[in-house]
Structure 1
Amino acid sequence: MSVTVDEVDAEAAVPWYRRGRTLDVVGLLARLLLGVVLVWAGAAKVGHPLTSQRAVQAYQIFPFELAGWIGLALPFLEIVVGVLLLLGLFTRPAAVVGALLMLAFIAGIAQAWARGLSIDCGCFGGGGEIAPSATRYPEEIARDTGFALAGGWLAWRPRSLASLDRILFGH
C-alpha cells in the first residue's frame, strides 16, 4: 500500500499536538509521571502504618478513627493505581482514581492552609505537625495540580504508547 502526496500533505497540515503519535507519547508521559509518583508515595508510607495514620489525622477533616483507617488504606490504593498506570492497564479508571486522589490531596492541603494548621502533607511519608515556617502549601498544591492534570488528560484520552490496554484491548 503506497502513500499518496495528498495524504502526506494532509498529515503535515495537522498541528503537531493533534497527531495521534504525539498524543500517544503525551499519554505515555502522563501515565509514567502519575504512576511513578503514586507508587513512590504509597511505598514510602506502606511500611509505616502509624505514621500514615497520623498524617491523615493531622488534617483534622475526618473523625479520628476514620482518619486512621484512611491512613492505613491510602498507601495500598496509591500503589495499586500507580502500578496500573505504569502498566497502562485499565488506564482510564486508574487515571480517574489518580486524579480524584490528587484533587482530594489539594483540598486537604488547602483546608489545612486556610485553617492555619502547620502540618507536613505526609505525601511521601512523614506527616503531622511542623513549624509554621516549614509549611510548603503553595508548592504542594501546585505539584498536585500538575499530577491531577496528568490524570485528567488520561481520563480524557487514555490511549498511550507501551500500554497493556493497547495489547489486550486494542486501544
Structure 2
Amino acid sequence: MVGTLARLGLAAVWLASGLLKALDPAQTYVAVKAYDVLPTDGVSIVAGILPWFELALGVLLLLGVGTRAVAVLSAVLLLVFIAGVSQAWARGLNIDCGCFGGGGAVEPGQTQYVQEIVRDTGFLVLAAWLIVRPRTFGALENLIGRAAEPGPRHSKVG
C-alpha cells in the first residue's frame, strides 16, 4: 500500500508540475533562467524539454510502467532540483524555484529555499521507496509481467 501511495503521489507531483510549466512556456523559461547557471541556449533547451519530461514521468508512474526506472530518473531530477535551489541560496539569489509554475526573481526575503529543499527531499524519499520496492498495486507492469510468465501448458492427449 505504501508503494502504491508513493507511486501515485509522485505521479501527481510530476503531472502537476509538468502541466503548469507546459501551460506557460515563457514563464518556465524565466524560471530556468533565474538560476543563472546555463547559457541562453541551455536555458531554452531545459525550459522546452522539462515540462514534457515531467509529464512523461507522471504518466509512466500513474500507469505503473517501468516504475523502478522512472523512480531512478525521478530521483536524479529531484537531486538536480535540490542542487539548483541550494546553489541559488548559497549564491544569494532571490528567486522562486518555479517548481510548480511561476518562478523567477522575487523580492529579498521572499525566498522559500528551506521549504523547497525539504519538499523535494520528501519527493526524493518517495522515489527512493519505489527504487527499492517498485511493485505496487494496480501497476500496468504487473499485468504485463503476468502475461509474459510461462504458465502451465495444457495438451490434449489422445
Do these two structures clear the TM 0.5 threshold for a shared fold by scoring above it? Answer: yes
2:124 maps to 1:148: yes
Partner of 1:68: 44
- Post-superposition Cα deviations, 1:80-126, rounded to whole Å, max 9, x if no partner, equal 00111111111111111111111111000000000000001001111
Two-structure CA RMSD over aligned residues (Å):
1.2
Name the SS of the counterpart of 1:133 in structure 2: coil
Deviates further, 108-117 or 50-59: 50-59
Report the alpha carbon displacement of residue 45 of structure 1 after superposing the two structures with TM: 0.8
Report the alpha carbon displacement of residue 149 of structure 1 after superposing the two structures with TM: 1.1
Give unpaired runs (5+ residues) of structure 1: 1-24
For 1:40 and 1:148, the matched residues in 2 are separated by 16
1:104 aligned to which of 80, 98, 110: 80
Report the alpha carbon displacement of residue 72 of structure 1 after superposing the two structures with TM: 1.0
Report the alpha carbon displacement of residue 133 of structure 1 after superposing the two structures with TM: 1.3
Report the alpha carbon displacement of residue 50 of structure 1 after superposing the two structures with TM: 1.2
Query: Quick one: percent identity of the two aligned structures?
Result: 48
- Post-superposition Cα deviations, 1:7-46, rounded to whole Å, max 9, x if no partner, equal xxxxxxxxxxxxxxxxxx1110110111100000000010
Partner of 1:45: 21
Report the alpha carbon displacement of residue 163 of structure 1 after superposing the two structures with TM: 0.5
Partner of 2:145: 169
| Higher RCO (Cα < 8 Å, 6 or more apart) | 2
Name the SS of the counterpart of 2:99 in structure 1: coil
For 2:37 and 2:145, the matched residues in 1 are separated by 40
- Post-superposition Cα deviations, 1:49-75, rounded to whole Å, max 9, x if no partner, equal 111111111101111220121011100
CA contact (8 A) 1:53 1:69 kept: no
Matched ranges for 1:83-102 at <5 A: 83-102=59-78
For 1:155 and 1:44, the matched residues in 2 are separated by 26
CA contact (8 A) 1:54 1:68 kept: no
For 2:131 and 2:29, the matched residues in 1 are separated by 29
For 1:28 and 1:153, the matched residues in 2 are separated by 10
For 1:140 and 1:109, the matched residues in 2 are separated by 8
Q: Which ranges of 4 or more aligned residues in structure 1 deviate by more than 3 Å? A: none
For 1:68 and 1:135, the matched residues in 2 are separated by 24
1:58 aligned to which of 3, 14, 34: 34
For 1:69 and 1:92, the matched residues in 2 are separated by 26
Amino acid at match of 2:112: R
- Post-superposition Cα deviations, 1:119-140, rounded to whole Å, max 9, x if no partner, equal 0100111111001211000000
